[in-house]
Amino acid sequence: MEEHEVNRLLNRLIDGSISTEDFARIQAVMRVNPEVREEYYDLIGLDLLLSESYEVPTHISVQAEAMHNDHWVAKRSKHKVIKIAVWAAAACLMLSLGSFYLFRDKGPPGTLTPSSICRFSVDGNEVDFAAMKPGEVLALKKDELLEVKEGVLNVKVGPNVDVCVEAPTRLKLIAQEGKLELQEGKAFFSILPGGKGFEVHTPGGILRDIGTKFGVEVTASGQIETHVTEGTIVIDRGDGTKREIREGSMAVWSGMTGSIRSSLSDGGSFVENLPSKETIFDDDFNDPDGTPIHNKKPDVGLPWKTEWEYNLSAVEKGVLDTSKGPRLLRARFKEGVSTEKRKLYVVNFSTRPPGNIWDKAGYEDANERITFLHSQDASPLFSLEARMSRHHQWQIKNEAEGVSQDRLYSVGSQISVLQPHDLTLTYDSASGEVRFYEGKDTRGNLADKPFKVEAGHSLDSILISNQGGGDVALENLTVRMLTYPQSGSSAGTR
C-alpha cells in the first residue's frame, strides 16, 4: 500500500470516519508492518494528549495490548499523569505537523436517520426533515434531548454504534462518544467490536456492552427490561455488584435497589432497524371518462372488483364518484405482501365534492364508508365512516364483532367527506392503533384521537361504499406498507 494511502487511512481511523472496508485494509497492514503500528499509536497518542480530558478509547486499549509494554501510549493507558516535558514535545510536534491531524472537525456525536413515517424533536424543537436539502445531515449534539414521538429513528454514534429508537422515547448522548442516557422508551443497540464498552445509562443503573446486540426498554414507572440477542452486557448499579446478561437471556428490574430477575429471552419485540417501505396499492383514476371501475387495473395492485352496485360505477373527470346510487367497490392490494412481521399501513387519499352534494340534507340515514379488510378472511377490521347524523364528518369505527359500545367509535373528526381534503390514515399491526391526519402525510394535523382496534392483522383490501343517499368522491387512493425488522414475538398475520 502506498505511503500516502496509509496516511489517509490512519487519519480516517483516528477521527472515526473510516469505512468498514478501509478499516479492514489498514488493520491488515498494521498486523504485518510494525512501523505503521508505531505511527498509528504515536498519532493517536498525540491526539489524546491535546484533548481536554483523557480517556483511552476501548478499541485503542484493545489494540495496545499487542504492543510492547514500554511504548509511551501503552504506558499512558496505565498512567494518567503527563509530565511538562511531554506536553512541550507534543506542542513542538504540533507545530511541525501543522493542523492536518490536530485541528479537524470530528463531526457531531450522533447523526439521525428517520423512517419515512417519523416525528421527533431535539431540545423541544420539532424537526421537519422533509424540508432538508440534499446532502444535509441531521445531527444530535452532546446533552441535547431527543424525543421520538412517532415512527422509528436511527441514531449513529460514531462509526461503531447504531441505535434504533422506537416512539415514544426520550434519550440523550451524555458523552462525546460511548455514553447514552435512555430516560424512557425503547431502543435497540447494534455495536461493532470497535464500540466495545458503550454505556446505556438508565434510572436503574448502567448497562455496559461487551461487543453485542441488545434491546432496552424503560417504562414511565422506572422499570427496566433488557434482552440480549448477541454477546453479553453487564448491569452495573454503582454499588460494587455487577450482573452479566448473556446472549439469549433477558433481565427486568426497577430502580437502583430492586432485585434483578433474569430468564430466557423471547427477543422482546424490539425494532432492530428502519422499516422497509412498499407501495401495495395506488390509483390516481387518470383514466378516460366512462372507464368502468369493475376490473379496472390500478397503477399498483389487483384489478378493482364491484361487490354490488345500483348502476355502473365509472371514472369521471379523474374521480371515482359514488353519486349515481349505492355501491360496494373493492380495491385489492397486490399479491404476496402478507407477512407475520410487524407492519404499519399508511393510506393516503383525497376527497372532492361529489356530483350530488346538493341533495344531502334530504337523507337522514345517509352514510359513506372506507372499510379496511384483513387478510385472514377478508372480513372488516375497521372503517372510516361519515353519517348525516354527524354532518358527514369522518369517524373511525371498530368493525370487530361483539365490541362494546364505548369501543365502537372514535371521538370523531371535523373533516367532512363532502369537501376537498388530502387525508392520511395509519394502522399499526403491533398495537392495533389507528391514526387519522389531515394532510398528505403524518406530519399533518391529527384529525381524530388515536383509536385502538384489534392488533395483529395484515390488511387485504379496501371497500368504498355509500348508502341511504350518501356519496363519496375520491381523486386518488394509495396504500404503503412499512415492514419492521423486529426481534422477538411478532405482530403479524392473523
Q: Map out the domains of the chain as residue ranges.
A: 3-97, 110-264, 276-483
Distances (CA, A) of 443 to 90, 138, 478: 52, 17, 17
Task: State the Cα angle at 413 between 411 and 415, rounded to 5°.
Answer: 165
Q: Looking at domain 110-264, does it have CATH number 3.90.920.10?
A: no
- What's the count of helices (H) and strands (E) in the chain, helices before strands? 6, 29
- Alpha-carbon dihedral of residues 445, 447, 451, 457, nearest 10 degrees? -70
Cell 491531524 appears where? 101
Choose among 433, 400, 270, 399: nearest CA to 341: 270
Is the CB of residue 488 less than 8 Å from the CB of residue 227? yes
462, 349 contact by CB (below 8 A): no
Q: Is 330 helix (H, G, I), strand (E, B) or coil?
A: strand
Query: H-helix or E-strand containing 381?
Result: strand 380-387
CA atoms of 481 and 474, how far apart (whole Å): 21
Sign of CA dihedral 11, 15, 21, 25: positive
Nearest CA-CA partner of 106 in 11, 6, 7: 11
Indicate the DSSP class of residue 259: P
Cβ atoms of 176 and 208 within 8 Å: the answer is no
Instruction: Give residue for cell 447523526.
Output: 111
Write out the H or E segment, with its range, that includes residue 367. Answer: strand 367-374
Please give the model's pTM, rounded to 2 decimal places.
Answer: 0.73
List the chain pLDDT tens, one digit each, 494 residues.
677 787 788 777 776 777 777 887 887 777 767 777 777 766 766 555 554 444 444 444 444 444 444 444 444 444 443 443 333 344 344 434 443 333 344 456 789 999 988 999 999 999 988 777 777 788 899 999 999 999 999 999 988 899 999 999 999 999 866 799 999 999 999 998 888 889 999 999 999 987 789 999 999 999 999 999 999 999 998 888 789 999 999 999 998 888 999 999 987 889 999 999 999 999 999 999 999 999 999 999 999 999 999 899 999 999 999 998 999 999 999 987 777 788 999 999 999 999 988 887 778 889 999 999 988 788 999 999 999 999 999 999 999 988 898 899 999 999 999 999 999 999 999 899 999 999 999 989 999 999 999 999 999 999 999 999 999 999 999 999 999 987 655 555 45
Residues 6+ apart with CB under 8 A from 67: 37, 41, 73, 74
Q: What is d(CA 57, CA 326) in angstroms, rounded to the nearest whole number?
A: 70
User: Nearest Cα to 136, choosing from 114, 118, 158, 116?
Assistant: 114
Structural contact between residues 243 and 256, judged by C-beta atoms closer than 8 angstroms: no
| Helix (H/G/I), strand (E/B), else coil: 24 | helix
> Phi and psi (nearest 5°) for 171?
-155, 165
Measured CA to CA in angstroms, residue 80 lies from 48, 53, 110 at distances of 11, 10, 28
Question: Shortest CA distance to 253 belongs to which of 232, 208, 222, 212?
Answer: 222
**Nearest alpha carbon to residue 370 among 474, 299, 480:** 474
CATH 2.60.120.200 fits 276-483, yes or no: yes
Same CATH fold, 276-483 and 110-264? yes
- The set of residues, in sequence order, having a beta carbon less than 8 Å from that of 236 and lying 6+ positions away, is 205, 206, 207, 208, 242
Largest interatomic CA distance in the chain: 95
